[in-house]
Chain A
Amino acid sequence: MTFIKKTLASSIAIAAAASMAATAQAEISDGEVRIGYLADMSGTYRDLAGPGGLEALQMAIEDFGGSVDGMPIEVFSADDRNSADVGANTVREWVDQRNVDLVAGMVASSVTIAVTKVLEENDGFGIVSGSAASSITNEHCTPNHIHWVYDTYPLANGTARAVVEQGGDSWFMLTADYAFGHALEADVTKVVEENGGEIVGGVRHPFPTDDFSSYILQAQGSGAKIIGLANAGADTVNAINTASQFGVVEAGQQLAGLLVFLNDVYAMGLDTTQGLLLTTGWYWNMDEQAREWAERYYERVGSMPTMVQAGIYSSTMHYLQAVEATGSDDTQTVREYMMKQPIHDFFARNGRVREDGRMVHDMYLARVKSPDQSTHEWDLYEILTSIPAEEAYRPLSESQCKLVQN
């Protein structure tokens, strides 16, 4: 009797839970769409995403109308201080206790990899805009996140290939010693070697590093034609400045900045950076649509947006449209819808979300202008070519992602 009672009770409980899950799928939980913005708000990577990215997110929400089907959109934000622990704990609390539907932003790759694991365990959802490591949608892919703006694969593919084709066939790699740097170094090595070049040496420097003089000296001693900078943010800025103090370019070596953001070029000035080749996912002055949005952003923030800040707007907009169209904030429902919809806005051209979570879109090879070419303080890049979406990113046939059937 007790046995029957127990079975009966548990089957009722299971049925109830299942029906609740079914209703949850077709509804917006808590009557609110909750977005958590996680980024480095005060450290090395602040200026490429940081408070500007939060502003871009707010712009997207305002442009969307501030609510989805009459349900308000609430935004939380936190500073991950580039620490994987801080990021993962923050997101665990957001998903566990505040029922956050979307985690946006995410910059340092080490933080992102930790956060996406938490999202996978708790069935949360994240859109990564700031991180670079291509492993985020390769060996670290999850069904719970999408990677939006760029990754190390097109950076290597765009910049390194262009440099090797121009005769820069021996490389010395200056690599930030963590997930992102390693991923970029691996991608660059592959591209350089495939195109007939050679990696003659390298240094993995601690993250972050202020003084690059020792590493620059080692790079000078290596005799390589190209010094590849597999780092980002303040590290790249410091490395380029130090190289200019030590007369690297005058002595006949060239720098290849593999991940250079608009704010970095702005901070260093055109005197130091002119002629630098770089690959970018977006540039504010690349066409009318981009310019129009960038100028609105400029009005609010006082600086021109980086590709990451623009990507945060674009991805948030796409997410909100998906929630509205499906009437749900359930992770898989929204993700599936986002995968079905092509993305074509001021930010992404020929964009689509693949099954590994990678949003592929056209990328651009750019060259930093010389001070004579530049007409005003934010006139920094000249776009040389665009790299079609399907060629820019790692092909699915090479993917190690568990979501891809190979």
Chain B
Amino acid sequence: MTMIFGVPVAVFMGQLLLGLINGAFYALLSLGLAVIFGLLKIVNFAHGAMYMLGAFTTLLGMQYLGVNYWAALLLTPLVVGLGGMLVERVLLRRIAHLDHLYGLLLTFGLALIFEGSLINFFGVSGARYPTPDALQGGYQLGFMFLPKYRAWVLLAAIIVCVFTWYMIERTRLGAYLRAGTENPALMQAFGVNVPLLVTLTYGFGVALAAFAGVLAAPLYPVSPTMGSNLLIVVFAVVVIGGMGSILGAILTGLGMGLIEGLTKVYYPEAANTVIFLVMILVLLLRPAGLFGKEA
């Protein structure tokens, strides 16, 4: 059997693929964070909670309202995104003129409240969300058995990432957004409703997190703590990519998934820390992040 550094090629290839799938989650979540930070300068610590709320909305929607997976894929980001807009309108807007730290504290507090209240009702064991019938089973790739659902997650995440990048970097709406955050007063003078743009952007960032939550529901037990476990890693990804860089968030997310996947083969004990090691290295060598612009 051919080996790569003492690991059979089949296992190695399988790990790369799995790493890429996890990376797709990191990419989706860090993308939302990067959009919110890049355009609004809010360090959104509630992002993990929004992801968790996405998964919970999907689960409860199925249990109580009979909403199926495909409908949830559309409805959940909408519902949670609207909730996010409410948070922006009612809370975040009031502290927009203050230091970033206040936004961080506020969103962190919100995350604790969401998580704590759901723990109170549902516990932490988590509930299972069934894999949709069309995505049951898997493909025998020769080097591994790939569950259909994971292939779908990779595909869906990449489509959404590319769509978001295109919308912000290549369309007129995206140009308004970028200009609105660069110089809000001037944009308003041109007759653009900047506060509305800000609300919509926050809602969109949150909707991305909720979308990732829907994708995660059939993979992991839906539990109130699922977001906080992931949030710190995602923040590290954003820091490595460069705070606010859209393309950086997507590519770094996928890349970190791969690095983590390989660590799980060669030195599994370090799997939870390897991303932070990379982060330290990047901060030492390129403080603005791999894709960030030097200030």
**Residue ranges of A at the interface with B (Cβ–Cβ < 8 Å):** 42-44, 46-47, 50, 177, 203-206, 208-211, 213-215, 217-218, 220-221, 234, 237-238, 241, 245-247, 251, 263-264, 266-269, 272
Complex interface: chain A residues within 8 A of B220 (CB): 210-211, 238, 241
- The residue on B at minimum CB distance from A174 is B268
- 6 nearest A-B pairs in the assembled complex, by CB-CB distance: A214-B264, A267-B125, A206-B272, A47-B125, A46-B124, A221-B11
* Cross-chain contact A47 with B124 (CB below 8 angstroms): yes
What's the minimum C-beta distance from A268 to chain B, rounded to whole angstroms?
Answer: 7
What's the minimum C-beta distance from A234 to chain B, rounded to whole angstroms?
Answer: 7
- The residue on B at minimum CB distance from A46 is B124
**Residue ranges of B at the interface with A (Cβ–Cβ < 8 Å):** 8, 10-11, 14-15, 18-19, 21-22, 116, 119, 123-128, 131, 138, 144-145, 147, 149-150, 219-221, 223, 225-226, 229-230, 261, 264-265, 268-273
Cα A387 to Cα B261 in complex, Å, equals 41
Interface residue from A211, A221, A245, A263 paired with B8 (Cβ < 8 Å) = A221
Cα A44 to Cα B22 in complex, Å, equals 21
Known: A43-B225, A267-B128. A217 touches B272 (CB 8 A): no
Cα A241 to Cα B270 in complex, Å, equals 23
- The residue on B at minimum CB distance from A245 is B147
- The residue on B at minimum CB distance from A211 is B22
Cα A204 to Cα B268 in complex, Å, equals 6
Interface residue from B119, B128, B145, B229 paired with A42 (Cβ < 8 Å) = B119
Complex interface: chain B residues within 8 A of A44 (CB): 124, 225
Complex interface: chain A residues within 8 A of B123 (CB): 46-47, 50, 263
* Cross-chain contact B265 with A214 (CB below 8 angstroms): yes
What's the minimum C-beta distance from B111 to chain A, rounded to whole angstroms?
Answer: 13
Cα A288 to Cα B269 in complex, Å, equals 45
- The residue on A at minimum CB distance from B216 is A210
* Cross-chain contact A245 with B221 (CB below 8 angstroms): no
Interface of A, secondary structure class, is helix
Known: A206-B271, A237-B221. A218 touches B128 (CB 8 A): no
Some 8 contacts from A to B, beta carbons below 8 A apart, are A42-B119, A203-B264, A206-B272, A210-B230, A214-B271, A218-B264, A220-B145, A237-B126
Complex interface: chain B residues within 8 A of A205 (CB): 264, 268, 271
Cα A208 to Cα B225 in complex, Å, equals 11
Complex interface: chain A residues within 8 A of B147 (CB): 245-247
* Cross-chain contact A267 with B127 (CB below 8 angstroms): yes
Cα A241 to Cα B18 in complex, Å, equals 16
* Cross-chain contact B126 with A234 (CB below 8 angstroms): yes
What's the minimum C-beta distance from A231 to chain B, rounded to whole angstroms?
Answer: 13
Cα A267 to Cα B221 in complex, Å, equals 9
Known: A217-B144, A234-B125, A245-B147. A210 touches B226 (CB 8 A): yes
Complex interface: chain B residues within 8 A of A204 (CB): 268-269
* Cross-chain contact B15 with A263 (CB below 8 angstroms): no
* Cross-chain contact B272 with A209 (CB below 8 angstroms): yes
What's the minimum C-beta distance from A25 to chain B, rounded to whole angstroms?
Answer: 42
Complex interface: chain B residues within 8 A of A210 (CB): 220, 226, 229-230
* Cross-chain contact B8 with A267 (CB below 8 angstroms): no
Other contacts beyond A205-B268, A210-B229, A214-B264: 12, CB < 8 A? A42-B116, A42-B225, A46-B124, A204-B269, A213-B21, A213-B150, A214-B271, A215-B268, A221-B8, A241-B221, A246-B145, A247-B147
Complex interface: chain B residues within 8 A of A237 (CB): 125-126, 221
Cα A87 to Cα B237 in complex, Å, equals 31
Interface residue from B14, B144, B149, B271 paired with A245 (Cβ < 8 Å) = B149
* Cross-chain contact A266 with B125 (CB below 8 angstroms): yes
Cα A263 to Cα B123 in complex, Å, equals 10
**Residue in B225, B226, B273 whose Cβ sees the most chain A Cβ within 10 Å:** B225
- The residue on A at minimum CB distance from B115 is A42
